[in-house]
Amino acid sequence: MSLVRPPVEAHFPLGGTGQRPKGASVNALSPTQKATAIDADAALRDSAATPSTDWQRPAWQAGSIVVCLLLWHWAATLHLNLGVITFANVPPPAEVLGAAWSLFQSPKLWPHLSSSLWRVGAGFGLAALLGIGLGLLIGRLRWARDALLPPLEVLRPIPAVAWIPLAILMFPSSEGSMIFITFVGALFPILLNTIHGVEAVDARLIASARSLGTRRWRLFSEVIAPGAAPSIVTGLSIGMGTCWFCLVTAEMIAGQYGIGYYTWESYTVQNYPSIIVGMLLIGALGMGSSALIQWAGRRLMPWYRPQRGTA
C-alpha cells in the first residue's frame, strides 16, 4: 500500500466531467481542491508542448556544442595567448579526431574500457547499497543519526587523492585499492541525498500510514523509500560522476589499464591529442552513465514529475 499520491485529474464540485464549470472561481474552492486544480493545470502545461519546442531544444543543445568546437579550433589554430592562459600547445579538434580514430582502431581500446567500466561498476554498486541503506536509517532513526553520522561527517571532506596511500596499504592488490577509491567517491553524495530525501517526506503521509496500521518495515518500503526516491536518484547520478572522477585519479597512480591510465600515459610521452581524447572519453562515459541512471529513475518513479522551466 503506497501512499505516495500520483498525479490526478481535477474534479470540481459543480461539474462531473473533471472540468471547471463556467463562472466558477478558484477562490471558492477548498484548499484541497485548489491544490488538485494546480496539479491538473501543471499537467496540461507539460503535455501541451508545441512542435517548435520539440525541435528548438535539440537545436540549442547541438548548437552549443558546435560553438564550443569552433571556439576551440579558433584558439588552437591561432595559438591564442591571453597571458594568464595560452593555447600554444593545445591541439586543434582535427588532430584530436585523428588520435581518437587511431585509438578506436587499436586493440588496446577494449582493455582500457573494460577495466574502467569494471572498477566504476563495482565501486558504484557497493556505494549505492551502503549509501542508500545508511541514508534510510540515519534519516529516519535518531539513534542511527547520533551513532553513525558524526564519523561519516569526519570522513566526508577527505579528498579521494588523500585515500590513495592508505588504500594501497590496506589492499594487497592495486585493483582492490582502485575500486575502494571509486567507492569512497560515490558514497557520500548518495548518502547525503538519501538522508535529505527521507527528511523531506511529508509527515502527513507517515501519519496517515500509521493511522491505517502500517508497520515499521512496510512504512519504510511503501511510504518513506518511494517519497525519498527522487533525492536518491539525484544522489546516484551525482555519485556516478564523482565515481569517474575518483577512478581517473586512482588509475593515474596505480593502474596499468584504464582510461585514466591512458590519459596519464599520453601526457608522459607528450602525446597531447591523446590526452584530450582520454578526457573527452571520460566525459562521455560519465555523462552517459548519469543519463542512464536518470532514465531508469524516471521509469521506476511514474508518479514523480519534476518541474521544468518553460521560458
Tens of pLDDT along the chain (311 residues) come to 444 444 444 444 444 444 444 444 444 445 455 445 555 555 555 544 444 556 788 888 889 999 999 999 999 999 898 888 899 889 999 999 999 999 999 998 999 999 999 999 999 999 999 999 999 999 988 999 999 999 999 999 998 889 988 988 899 888 899 999 999 999 999 999 999 999 998 888 888 888 888 887 888 888 888 889 999 999 999 999 999 988 888 887 777 889 989 998 898 888 999 999 999 999 999 999 999 999 999 898 887 777 665 55
CA-CA distance, 229 to 216, in Å (whole number)?
18
- Which CATH number do you get for residue 96? 1.10.3720.10
| Residue 28 DSSP code | G
CA-CA distance, 58 to 52, in Å (whole number)?
11
Question: Would residue 221 count as lying in a domain?
Answer: yes
Question: Would residue 61 count as lying in a domain?
Answer: no
Question: Would residue 149 count as lying in a domain?
Answer: yes
Q: Say if residues 247 and 181 touch (Cβ distance below 8 Å).
A: yes
Question: Would residue 134 count as lying in a domain?
Answer: yes
Predicted TM-score (pTM) of the model is 0.76
Neighbour tally for 109: CB within 10 Å:
15
**Per-residue pLDDT, 165:** 87
| Residue 29 DSSP code | S
**Per-residue pLDDT, 13:** 45
Strand partners, 284: none
Q: In Å, what is the CA distance from 98 to each residue of 65, 93, 94, 222, 280? A: 19, 9, 6, 53, 14
Amino acid, single-letter form, for residue 15 = G
**Per-residue pLDDT, 62:** 87
Our measurement of the distance from residue 170's CA atom to the centroid of its chain's CA atoms, rounded to an integer in Å, reads 29
- Phi first, then psi: what are they for 192, rounded to 5°? -65, -40
**Per-residue pLDDT, 25:** 45
Q: Is 172 helix (H, G, I), strand (E, B) or coil?
A: coil
Question: Would residue 35 count as lying in a domain?
Answer: no
Question: Would residue 51 count as lying in a domain?
Answer: no
Q: Is 159 helix (H, G, I), strand (E, B) or coil?
A: coil
CA-CA distance, 50 to 40, in Å (whole number)?
18
Question: Would residue 84 count as lying in a domain?
Answer: no
Question: Would residue 27 count as lying in a domain?
Answer: no
Place of cell 591541439: 91
Amino acid, single-letter form, for residue 84 = V
- Phi first, then psi: what are they for 122, rounded to 5°? -65, -50
Range of the domain at 169: 92-300
What angle (nearest 5°) sits at the alpha carbon of residue 113, between those of residues 89 and 127? 105
Our measurement of the distance from residue 132's CA atom to the centroid of its chain's CA atoms, rounded to an integer in Å, reads 14
Structural domain count, the chain: 1
